[in-house]
């Protein structure tokens, strides 16, 4: 009898431990990802100003930007993704894919996401698009098979090299750097209530998209979703292709 109770308690503890790991592991990976990228950016030489986790407001929308590096060689806008495994995608695809063994998971194209950040920063800083560099950074555990001509997709270890390689051409005047830094500081939202609303709005948007997909409706254009066969197996895509490139 006591042996059965002991086994039951042991099984319960294993189950609780598994639940705790599944809940906290993504948060732990996110924390470590931010830790390593901040450590790499700190190695940049004098003349590079760094902003982390900046929340700004533009045209009735809030944007949370992971990292911004300001220099006379350009403004580097960085979107950090803590995915691992094989990452595949294209510059103009609506979604990219994470391959973990036989399982494939989709996520929104981070290039598009970062482009939205850059457009917001253009308005806030009163700068043109040519002053910005888009960088999507993954953890070192990710293997990247991504095609992109107009931005950079890299791993944490190489992000500093990408930034320093742009030192050949100065595109922002020295006397404008302090103005850009001042505008960023003034634009930063620190109100906890607004930050909470931003997170709630993102979750609401994701929930609405998931509900549409479950109804076999494209969340991007409203057309019917169909199953197609691709290089890495079957996937769900918009029937309005190529006008709409949504995939799941």
* 84 and 145 inside one domain: yes
Give domain status of residue 21, yes or no. Answer: no
Helices (H), 93-240: 110-125, 159-164, 174-187, 192-214
* Choice between 68 and 31, residue whose per-residue pLDDT is larger: 68
Contact 41, 77 (CB under 8 A): no
State how far Cα 113 lies from the chain centre: 7
Poorest-pLDDT segment among 6-10, 81-85, 92-96, 235-239: 6-10
Is the pTM for the entire model greater than 0.85?
no
pLDDT confidence of residue 227: 81
Indicate if 179 and 206 belong to the same structural domain: no
How many structural domains is the chain composed of? 2
Report which of 40, 65, 33 is spatially closest to residue 51, judged by C-alpha positions.
Answer: 65
Among candidate residues 174, 190, 206, the one where a domain is terminated = 190
**pLDDT confidence of residue 8:** 67
Same structural domain, 101 and 184: yes
Asked if 184 and 112 sit in the same domain, the reply is yes
Please tell me the predicted confidence (pLDDT) of residue 248. 66
Claim to verify: residue 169 and residue 92 sit in the same structural domain = yes
Rounded to whole angstroms, what are the CA distances from 246 to 66, 105, 137, 199? Answer: 25, 14, 22, 23
Supply the range of the domain harboring residue 245.
193-248
pLDDT above 50: residue 133? yes
């Amino acid at each position: 009898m006591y042996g059965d109770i002991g086994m039951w308690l042991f099984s319960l503890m294993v189950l609780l431990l598994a639940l705790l790991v599944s809940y906290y592991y993504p948060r732990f990976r996110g924390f470590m990802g931010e830790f390593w990228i901040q450590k790499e950016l700190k190695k940049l030489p004098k003349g590079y100003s760094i902003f982390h986790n900046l929340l700004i407001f533009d045209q009735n929308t809030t944007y949370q930007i992971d990292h911004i590096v300001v220099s006379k060689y350009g403004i580097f806008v960085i979107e950090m993704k803590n995915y691992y495994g094989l990452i595949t995608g294209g510059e103009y695809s609506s979604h990219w894919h994470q391959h973990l063994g036989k399982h494939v998971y989709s996520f929104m194209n981070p290039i598009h996401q970062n482009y939205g950040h850059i457009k917001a920063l253009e308005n806030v800083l009163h700068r043109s698009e040519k002053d910005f560099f888009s960088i999507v950074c993954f953890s070192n555990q990710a293997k990247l098979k991504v095609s992109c001509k107009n931005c950079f997709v890299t791993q944490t270890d190489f992000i500093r090299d990408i930034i320093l390689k742009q030192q050949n051409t100065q595109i922002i005047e020295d006397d404008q750097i302090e103005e850009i830094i001042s505008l960023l500081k003034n634009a930063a939202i620190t109100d906890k209530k607004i930050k909470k609303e931003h997170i709630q709005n993102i979750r609401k948007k994701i929930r609405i998209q998931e509900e549409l997909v479950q109804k076999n409706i494209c969340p991007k254009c409203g057309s019917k979703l169909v199953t197609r066969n691709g290089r890495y197996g079957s996937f769900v895509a918009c029937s309005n292709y190529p006008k709409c490139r949504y995939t799941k």
